Amino acid sequence: MPRIWAVKIGDEKVSIQIGPVKIDDPVILAPMSGVTDLPFRKLVKRSGAGLVVSEMIASEAMIRMSRQSLKMAENVPEEAPMAVQLAGCEPQVMADAAKLNADRGAALIDINFGCPVKKVVNGHAGSALMKDEAKAAKILEATVKAVKLPVTLKMRKGWDQTNQNAPRLAKIAEECGIRMITVHGRTRCQLYNGTADWDFIRQVKEAVKLPVVVNGDVVTVEGAKTALEKSGADGVMVGRGAYGRPWFLNQVIAYLRDGARLPSPAIEAQMAIVLEHYEAMLGHYGTQTGVKIARKHLGWYSKGLPGSAEFRTRINQIADPKVVMETVRAFYEPLIGQDLPERDAPGAGEREAA
C-alpha cells in the first residue's frame, strides 16, 4: 500500500526532508512559466503550501543576469522555503546559474528535464535531455557540486511511449546527488494531451530511495489523494489546479490530512484577494506590463461565476488600472452573500506545468 504522508503518526505528521529543508505537508506549487511569479507565489504560500517554485529560468539568461531572469528569480522571506527552477543544456552554465541563485536566497535549486515546449526542446534543454542520459548526468552532477543547497529534479515519464526512461534517469539522478524527484505523468510527445499516468510514477518511486512527487492533472482534492495512492509518491505538485485559486493547495492539504473539505473563501474575501494580487502585479512589473500580465489571472479568478464571460471581455480592453479595479469591484460586489456552488479548476483543459 502507498504511504499517505498526511496521516499522523503519534503526534507528528510525516513530512519530506530535503537536506536542511523540511517540507511539512508536501503539497507543492508547480513551476509555471508566466504564472508562478513572485506576487502569485507569495499569495499561494500565505494561503497554505508546503513549497513554492519559481517559473522556469534559462540558465544562460541567469548568468548574463538579464533583467527578466533576475525578476523571475526574486524571492522574499514570506515565501520561504522557495525553489528556483533552472533549465539549460550546458553543465557549467547550469552550475554557475545555480551558484547565483544560491547567493540570492533560494532554498532549493530545481532542474528542469520536463518542459516540452519546442523552443526549449530545440535548444536541447527541458525534456530533450531525457533522450541523452549521459549529458543529463553531467548537468545533474555539475549543478549538485556547484552549490551547498539541495538540488532537485523535475521530469516527465520519458520522450515518447517507446522511451519511458524516467525510472532509469531517476536512479542516475540519485547517484549524482539529487535529493528529490518530481515526475509529470506524461511523455514529452504527449505535450499536455491525454491524461497523466499516475500509476507509472510508482516505477520511479520503486527505483530510488529519494522522495518522489507526483505531478499532472491534480485539479481536485480527490484527484490529489488518488494521485498519491496510485503513484505511491511522497508528495503532490499542483499546477493548473491553482489557476485563480491560490487557496487550492491549502484545500488539498486539509483533505489529505484528515478528509476535511475546506470551502473556497467567501466572495467578499475573494474580491479582496483579487485586488491585492492585482496591485502586487502592478508593483512587481510596473503599470504597463502589469496590467497586461494580470488579465489572465483576473480571467481565472472569475471563471465559473455569473457574468464572468462579459467581465473577462471588458477587462481585456481596459488599460487604466484604476478602471480595472473599479470593474473588479463592480463584478464581485453583487455576488456577495449569494449561495454560489464550488467551481472546478479554472485551468481545466489548459496547459499543465512542465
Domain spans, the chain: 8-258, 267-335
Given this model, what pLDDT does residue 142 score? Answer: 97
CA distance 275 to 157: 39
Handedness of CA 307, 308, 309, 314 (dihedral sign): positive
For 264, other C-beta atoms within 10 Å of its C-beta total 14
Distances (CA, A) of 72 to 17, 54, 288, 294, 317: 26, 7, 18, 16, 26
User: CA angle at residue 64 from 81 to 172, to 5 degrees?
Assistant: 55
Given this model, what pLDDT does residue 78 score? Answer: 92
89, 115, 176, 189: which is the annotated catalytic residue? 115
Which regions in the chain score pLDDT beneath 50? 1-12, 349-354
Given this model, what pLDDT does residue 129 score? Answer: 83
ω into residue 306 within 30 of 0, thus cis? Answer: no
Query: Under DSSP, is residue 231 helix (H, G, I), strand (E, B) or coil?
Result: helix
Q: How does pLDDT run across 88-133, given as a tens digit for each residue?
A: 989 999 999 999 999 999 999 999 986 666 667 566 677 788 888 9
Query: Under DSSP, is residue 346 helix (H, G, I), strand (E, B) or coil?
Result: coil
Given this model, what pLDDT does residue 289 score? Answer: 96
CA distance 348 to 346: 6
**Helical spans, DSSP H, in the chain:** 38-48, 59-63, 67-73, 91-103, 118-121, 133-146, 166-176, 201-207, 221-231, 248-258, 267-285, 287-302, 308-315, 321-332
Given this model, what pLDDT does residue 65 score? Answer: 81
Query: Which residues neighbour 77 within 8 Å (Cβ) at sequence distance 6 or greater?
Result: none
Q: How does pLDDT run across 10-31, given as a tens digit for each residue?
A: 334 568 999 999 999 999 999 9
Cell numbers linked to 352: 499543465
**Which CATH number is correct for 267-335, 1.10.287, 1.10.1200, 1.10.10, 3.40.50?**
1.10.1200
pTM over 0.95: no
DSSP assignments along 31-90, one per residue? P-TTTS-HHHHHHHHHHH-SEEEEEEEEHHHHHTT-HHHHHHH---GGG-SEEEEEE-S-
Say which CATH architecture domain 8-258 belongs to.
Alpha-Beta Barrel (3.20)
Task: Mark whether 115 is an active-site residue.
Answer: yes
